[in-house]
Amino acid sequence: MTPESPAVGTAKRVRIHHIAQAKREGTPITMLTAYDALTAPLFEAAGIDMLLIGDSIGNVMLGYSTTLPVTLEDIERATAAVARSTSRPMIVADLPFGSYESDVTAAFNASSRLMKAGAHAVKLEGGAHRADLIRHLTTNGIPVVAHIGYTPQSENTLGGPRMQGRGDAADRLSADVCALEEAGAFAIVFEMVPDSIATRLTAQTSMATIGIGAGPHTDGQVLVWSDMAGMSEWTPSFVRRFRELGVELQGATRDYIAAVRSREFPAKGQFAAE
Ligand code: KIV
**Ligand 1 and 56: CB distance under 6 A:** yes
What confidence tens digit (pLDDT) does each residue in 126-171 have?
999 999 999 999 999 999 999 999 999 999 999 889 898 888 899 9
Q: Which of 35, 56, 60, 164 to mutate to test the pocket of ligand 1 (most atoms within 8 A of CB)?
A: 56
Q: What is residue 2's predicted lDDT score, i.e. its pLDDT?
A: 47
Confidence check: pLDDT of 7 > 90 = no
- What domains can you pick out in the chain, each with its CATH number? 16-229 (3.20.20.60)
Q: How far is the CA of 158 from the centre of ligand 1 (A)?
A: 16
**Ligand 1 and 33: CB distance under 6 A:** yes
Better-scored residue on pLDDT, 159 or 202 = 202
Q: What is residue 1's predicted lDDT score, i.e. its pLDDT?
A: 41
Q: How far is the CA of 225 from the centre of ligand 1 (A)?
A: 10
What confidence tens digit (pLDDT) does each residue in 50-59 have?
999 999 999 9
Better-scored residue on pLDDT, 168 or 260 = 260
Q: What is residue 233's predicted lDDT score, i.e. its pLDDT?
A: 87
Q: What is the model's pTM?
A: 0.96
The residue-averaged pLDDT of 172-180 equals 97
Q: Which of 191, 210, 221, 227 to mutate to test the pocket of ligand 1 (most atoms within 8 A of CB)?
A: 191
Q: Whose CA is nearest to atom 2 of ligand 1?
A: 54
Confidence check: pLDDT of 192 > 70 = yes
Atom of ligand 1 at shortest range from CA of 54:
1
Active site residues: 191
Q: Whose CA is nearest to atom 1 of ligand 1?
A: 54
Q: What is residue 4's predicted lDDT score, i.e. its pLDDT?
A: 57
Confidence check: pLDDT of 10 > 80 = no
**Ligand 1 and 94: CB distance under 6 A:** yes
Mean of pLDDT over the chain: 95
Q: Which of 61, 192, 212 to mutate to test the pocket of ligand 1 (most atoms within 8 A of CB)?
A: 212
**Ligand 1 and 222: CB distance under 6 A:** yes
Kindly write down the DSSP assignment for every residue of the chain, as one continuous string: -PPSS--SS-SS---HHHHHHHHHHTPPEEEEE--STTTHHHHHHHT-SEEEE-TTHHHHTS--SSSTT--HHHHHHHHHHHHHH-SSSEEEEEPPTTSSSS-HHHHHHHHHHHHHTT-SEEEEEBSGGGHHHHHHHHHTT--EEEEEES-GGGHHHHTSS-----TTHHHHHHHHHHHHHHHT-SEEEEES--HHHHHHHHHH-SSEEEEESS-TTSSEEEE-HHHHTT-SSS--TT------HHHHHHHHHHHHHHHHHTT-SS-TTSS---
What confidence tens digit (pLDDT) does each residue in 65-93 have?
999 999 999 999 999 999 999 999 999 99
Q: What is residue 110's predicted lDDT score, i.e. its pLDDT?
A: 98
Confidence check: pLDDT of 46 > 60 = yes
Q: What is residue 226's predicted lDDT score, i.e. its pLDDT?
A: 98
Confidence check: pLDDT of 187 > 70 = yes
Confidence check: pLDDT of 9 > 50 = yes
Q: How far is the CA of 152 from the centre of ligand 1 (A)?
A: 8
Q: What is residue 160's predicted lDDT score, i.e. its pLDDT?
A: 87
Q: Whose CA is nearest to atom 4 of ligand 1?
A: 54
- Is residue 240 within 8 A of residue 229, CB to CB? The reply is no
Atom of ligand 1 at shortest range from CA of 60:
3
Q: Whose CA is nearest to atom 5 of ligand 1?
A: 54
Q: How far is the CA of 53 from the centre of ligand 1 (A)?
A: 8
